Amino acid sequence: MPVPDHLLGDTSVTGPLGSLALSQVRPGSTVLALRAVKWHEGLGRLGVVLPFALVHDVGLLFATSRDHVEIGPRCEPASIARGMPDLVRLLDGYRRMLEELGQSEAARRAPELKMSDDLVIVLLSRLLGAVASRVNVPPAYRAAVPMDASLFERLEPQLPQLFSTARRGFEASALSALEVSRLFVLTMTDALDLDTLRLFGMLGAEGAGGALTQVDLLAALESPEANDIVNFSLEILPSVLETKTRPAAGTTAAHGYSGIGTRGSIDGLVLTELAWDDLELARRLLDNEVLYYAREQSRDEQKRVHYLLVDASASMRGDRQTFARGMAIATAKKLLLEGEDVAFRFFDARLYEIHRAHGDKLPTAHVLSFKGERGRNPARVFAELSTELDLHRHRDPRTPVVHLFTHAALYIPREMVQAVRRSAHIAAVFILPSGGKLDLDYLDLLDAHWVVDHATLSSGSARANAARSILDQTTASSGEEAGKGAAKGAEA
């Protein structure tokens, strides 16, 4: 028996599992069914309370390909309809609605979307939130299904018994609400922005975790401005995804040889150095003039961390916001692919909390959904940044590199920029307003900067070409040159 005897009296387990007697989707493996436990818990945290069977069925349609699921009853409806006269009719309508959902473009493209559990939870809350609000009967149990795949193995014969362990008014009310909301659910499915879902699949949507990440995802899916950023990001990301981690020169006996340097071990000594007489060789050793073959070294060993500062003030609305955030996302992805550590920070009149990339996943939802509402105060922002970078220097040996994406009228006191420059390298992308020009007295303190004018922003192809050009130069100047002045004053 999948559910052991000692759990049969626990309605927190038998209640949710017994609702699968109403399920109309058969997963190809128990691992897929186990994901539904996380979706059900996540929806509960968002206040969307639904029977486990509904979450299981709809979630599987959008999270997996049709090759791994089969639409059809898990249990004979007549065997569980005792005392519920409308159940057979409701289940028939439910099955037909699931078939329509399975034919939607989002369900057909499920494998390529690569949706995380957090993203599936948010998607289900968008589609089924209205259904949950119509359910007028509370559940007779508190769901707490263990994360144990064995509970779902060959469960069908036991489903009628599990279904009878609790009152099922909650499930019947949810099916009735779904019948009433059928057109709304199908319309919301057709309205899903698949480009946004694809971007999350490519870049991840990591954030603070749990419900906070889900709140950012909800905001991103509901934001009209986010769609413009997504489209621009998808336009320039293909060239970024071709990036490979490029080794740098070092002395560690790993990888291959990359060049010649004056530091190294005896096994890397250039053999022609042995042609010097003893006294000259000794002098060259003392003066560090002896040549060694330099070995390749991974970027992790170069000890850098990149902070992407994105202007979120009112001056960055519209096309400027789209370009700045799209560029920040693409820059971060390219740096990650090159083996660098990346973190995002927004600012307006203050510097907001840091959001770091985790592994190869970016906090994409946060970047798409963040809104600043605190005016504009560059002096305060850079004073805070200078203080934090100074503290960072004592805690973290890595060299900070600041990438600034902002309006051309970011007037920062020169001494503030000098204070930041003492602790970090700085590269900036300035976006000009219509008819504006760049006139800032601290440009000579920046390691690199680029200017994007209004005409470039107004043309789709010119905007994309400018972004790709800046991406290439940004990576070169902040990566290999690490702020030595490459691409200084370039215009896009």
Is residue 402 predicted with pLDDT exceeding 70?
yes
| Contact yes or no for 360/245 (Cβ under 8 A) | no
* Distance, CA of 190 to CA of 176 (rounded, Å): 22
What are the tokens at 283?
A: 């002098």
Residues 124-177: tens digit of each pLDDT: 999 999 999 999 999 999 999 998 888 888 888 899 999 999 999 999 999 999
| Contact yes or no for 365/330 (Cβ under 8 A) | no
Name residue 401's beta-bridge partners: 306, 425
Is residue 476 predicted with pLDDT exceeding 60?
no
> Which pLDDT score, from 0 to 100, does residue 461 have?
87
Is residue 433 predicted with pLDDT exceeding 90?
no
What radius of gyration, in Å, describes the C-alpha atoms of the chain?
29
The 10 Å Cβ neighbour count of residue 231 is 16
Mean pLDDT value across residues 293-311: 74
> Which pLDDT score, from 0 to 100, does residue 154 have?
86
Is residue 255 predicted with pLDDT exceeding 70?
no
Is residue 203 predicted with pLDDT exceeding 80?
yes
> Which pLDDT score, from 0 to 100, does residue 487 have?
38
SS3 138: coil
Q: Name which of 247, 282, 289 is nearest 264 in CA terms.
A: 289
> Which pLDDT score, from 0 to 100, does residue 129 have?
93
Angle at 241 between CA 235 and CA 215, to 5 degrees: 70
**Confidence grade of residue 299 (pLDDT, cut at 50, 70, 90):** very low
What residue type is 378 in one-letter code?
P
Is residue 37 predicted with pLDDT exceeding 70?
yes
Using CB atoms within 10 A of its CB, is residue 296 exposed (0-12), middle (13-18) or buried (19+)? Answer: middle
Is residue 226 predicted with pLDDT exceeding 80?
yes
Is residue 479 predicted with pLDDT exceeding 50?
no
> Which pLDDT score, from 0 to 100, does residue 418 have?
94
> Which pLDDT score, from 0 to 100, does residue 489 have?
44
Residues 237-253: tens digit of each pLDDT: 887 877 555 544 554 55
Average pLDDT over all residues of the chain: 85
Q: What residue spans of 79-116 are helical by DSSP H?
A: 87-102, 105-108, 110-113
Name residue 323's beta-bridge partners: none
SS3 232: helix
The beta strand positions in 257-354, using DSSP E, are: 257-261, 292-297, 304-311, 341-347
| Contact yes or no for 55/16 (Cβ under 8 A) | no
Residues 314-370: tens digit of each pLDDT: 888 889 999 999 999 999 999 988 888 999 999 999 999 999 988 778 899 999 989
Please state, in angstroms and as integers, the Cα–Cα distance from residue 195 to each residue in 128, 203, 268, following that order: 21, 12, 51
The beta strand positions in 13-86, using DSSP E, are: 25-27, 69-71
Residues 189-201: tens digit of each pLDDT: 998 888 998 898 8
What residue type is 291 in one-letter code?
L
